[in-house]
Amino acid sequence: AWWALDFDSASAVAHAVGRWLWPVTLPDSPVAAAILHAVAVLIVACPCAMGLATPAAIMAAANVAARHGILIRDGAALEKSGRINAVVFDKTGTLTAGEMAVAAWQPAAGVSPDELQELAVAVAAPSNHPLSRAIAGSRSTDAAPPAFEHWEEIRGAGVEAVLGGRRLRLGSLRWLAETGVKLSDGDAFAREWQARGATVLALARDEQPLGWIALTDPIKSAANAVIEELRRAGHQLFLVTGDNRLTAAAIAQQVGLPPEAVFAEVRPEAKADIVRQLQERGLRVAFVGDGINDAPALEQADLGVAVSRASDVAREAADLILLRSDLEAVPRALRLARAALRTIHQNLFWAFFYNAAAVPLAALGFLSPLVCAAAMGLSDLMVVGNALRLMRWRG
């Protein structure tokens, strides 16, 4: 029958193959030894330890960071943190407490203090800017707010309103000067308060000044210690602010920064340009900020750090978020990142050394597949164990 022929053929083929394979499977067969060596090489060459080297260290460091009030948004941020060599600080709300308060009023000639205060409070009230909130909160009144015909907040400059056909402007001295307001009568008042680190604004009606307002914001208690610690660690430090140069210089002096490290009168959109300029000089830059205006700089920086009271926009742009109102977390985060980077390098070295040493030994037959499997597991444990050492990090 036809199937008998096929069966006989299959039996003959099986017999021939069996006679050929049988010697191969004997323990002393060269082919059997080659197969064992190949299996051993495949086992020992498994890149498990290499694959665990970085994520294990990052996971451990992220856990430690969370205990210290630092939220790491992604593992790449931790790796970038370990390579930072320059830190740029925003001023308001970062080096300062962000608790703006009116320190002094200076009415212009022919303007009463009450008129200056009432108009300034009315113009500032609709704004959420910290300076506007400080002015609006400096005077309580039961009077109904005026019905402005127009009100507009101008980013990085101030606020503008139209009342009774007259244009009111409340904002920076530079902006008012650019609009044609003559502010020379308030120069002495402005210089006096700017030398103390205060921010000085002016209020004008059309082209006539109505008065000047000095606002202070206390330096954070830890600012000097943080600046000194970062300097000792070898970081280049900079201050970026939209404030007047005198104010910026006074704040820089209070926290221990030299005048050449200060960028003053910087418009919000120019902060990112300053970060870019520093990067073009070969610096790896961390930017520490809190406001909506800081978001482009946080995005541009190699590492963006948002402080605890940061706006949602700043948090979204940042790589690290400080969960506590603790400026000391900045150098702490950079120290932790360097420790994590060292651990990653140690893990990668061990994983490479293990493969480089074990693969030739397995290929030459010095390691059996069983020993290779045990060695591979031991290598993984050593990498994970080294990463877990970070859990004992105390800063």
Residues whose CB falls within 8 Å of the CB of residue 176, separated by 6 or more in sequence, listed in order: 158, 169, 183, 202, 204, 209
Please state whether beta strands 285-289 and 262-263 pair in parallel, antiparallel, or not at all (unpaired).
unpaired
- CA angle (314 as vertex; 313, 318 as ends), nearest 5: 120
What φ, ψ does residue 103 adopt, rounded to 5°? -100, -30
CA pair distance 217, 102, nearest whole angstrom: 9
Instruction: Give yes or no for a contact between 203 and 228, defined as CB atoms under 8 angstroms apart.
Output: no
Task: Please check whether residue 55 is in contact with residue 75, taking contact to mean a CB–CB distance below 8 angstroms.
Answer: yes
- 285-289, strands of its sheet edge to edge: 70-72, 320-322, 303-306, 285-289, 86-90, 236-240, 262-263
Which of 210, 114, 130 shows the shortest CA–CA distance to 170? 210
For 289, phi then psi, to 5°, come to -150, 180
CA distance 184 to 194: 15
> Angle at Cα 213 formed by Cα 147 and Cα 259, nearest 5°?
135
Q: Which two tokens stand for residue 191?
A: 């210089």
- Name the active-site residue from 6, 8, 28, 90: 90
Contacts 24+ apart (CB under 8 A), 124-128: 124/159, 124/170, 126/151, 126/153, 126/159, 127/153, 127/159
Is 380 one of the annotated active-site residues of the chain? no
> Active-site residues: which are they?
90
